[in-house]
Structure 1
Amino acid sequence: MKTPAGALVPVDSESQELLGKLPVGQGLRGKYSRARNLQFHRKMFALFKLAFDAWEPDDSMQYKGQPVAKDFDRFRKDMTILAGFFNPVVNVRGEIRLEAESLSFASMKEERFEQVFKAVLTAVWTRVLQTAGYRNEQEVERVLEELLRFEQ
């Protein structure tokens, strides 16, 4: 996001993490896109974070003797896929896999993003938040609005 002073600053944790890895004064080159609705984008990621924090996977799971950790990016992609927004791909073993559609500003128009949000809200509520004690999707939306007000 461009500040009144003309500086560019990160708008989300992903951007902040990327910029945090760069040394001060490092020049950047890249493609940019105008944000569709930054507040709505933040609301989507607040929904993912709320659900991720409430999600309690089986902590006894292991893979080849190693404990399996929950991962925010995997969770976000899984919820997007469960909401019905994915692309089927094939891997080198000939297996079909589902990849979540990108939620980036450049890859999705506002109207489509609104559809994705509604479907993700339903998937997240059904799979996670309903068992975490939320009464309905409207309550989840109220909590998200409060969280976003608190962030500002």
Structure 2
Amino acid sequence: MQEMVLIKGPNNSLHPATEEDAQKLSKFKIGRGVRLKATQMSEHNTKFHRKLLALFQLGFDRFSEQLDTGMEYKGRLIKASFNTFRKQLTIQAGHYDPVFNLDGTFELEACSLSYAKATDEQKAQIYSDVIQASLDHVFEAGMAEDELRGLVDKFLAFDN
């Protein structure tokens, strides 16, 4: 089952909120019916969702720039994955659950960042945690938190 955020437009049309949502939506065949179970997000939740995903996208872009794109594993080209990056950065930000693997070992699984149920304080904490994880693991050591927050705001301004 796919989960994505869609924004209602004119004439009852639905548009993907982010590039990741657009990629998911593009996998559906044109003209085919799609069964949806919808939960309406408040405008505040939609803005928070876009801001957090903009932060993930900026981090992913920076991360991807630094990769050796010619690497292979068992004859298959290794690719950067936005979804994997987002999950790993969420774990680095401290939002994870430890889960068992089939072999009895455990790993960390990224928590779903549920904006609808989060208070404004919890949303601010999630965002701050991801900012800090981005600074610690993705962006150069000289970048300040307010500089990264400014980049996200500029990114969102271009997206509108």
2:98 aligned residue (63, 75, 88): 88
Q: CA deviation at 1:102?
A: 1.2
Alignment-derived partner of residue 123 in structure 2: 113
2:136 aligned residue (126, 137, 140): 126
User: Is 1:43 paired with 2:51?
Assistant: yes
Larger relative contact order (Cα-Cα within 8 Å, sequence gap ≥ 6): 1
Unpaired segments of 5 or more residues in structure 2?
1-6
Q: Deviations over 1:53-111 (max 9, x none)?
A: 112246686545655433221111111001100011101111111110113556x5243
Alignment-derived partner of residue 6 in structure 1: 12
User: Is 1:53 paired with 2:61?
Assistant: yes
Q: Deviations over 1:107-150 (max 9, x none)?
A: x524333321110100101111134xx53010011111111111
In structure 2, the CA distance between the partners of 1:25 and 1:141, relative to structure 1 (3 Å rule), is same
What TM-score, normalized by structure 2, do the two folds share? 0.79
Decide whether the 8 Å contact of 1:52 with 1:72 is kept in 2. yes
* 3-state DSSP of counterpart to 2:98: strand
* 3-state DSSP of counterpart to 1:50: helix
In structure 2, the CA distance between the partners of 1:96 and 1:149, relative to structure 1 (3 Å rule), is same
Decide whether the 8 Å contact of 1:43 with 1:144 is kept in 2. yes
**One-letter amino acid matched to 2:147:** E
**One-letter amino acid matched to 2:33:** G
- Identity of matched residues, %: 36
Decide whether the 8 Å contact of 2:115 with 2:123 is kept in 1. no
Q: In 2, Cα distance between the equivalents of 1:32 and 1:43?
A: 21
CA RMSD in angstroms, aligned pairs only? 2.3
Q: CA deviation at 1:51?
A: 1.3
**One-letter amino acid matched to 1:83:** A
Decide whether the 8 Å contact of 1:34 with 1:105 is kept in 2. no
User: Is 1:136 paired with 2:141?
Assistant: no
Which deviates more, 61-70 or 141-150?
61-70
**One-letter amino acid matched to 1:19:** L
Q: CA deviation at 1:23?
A: 2.4
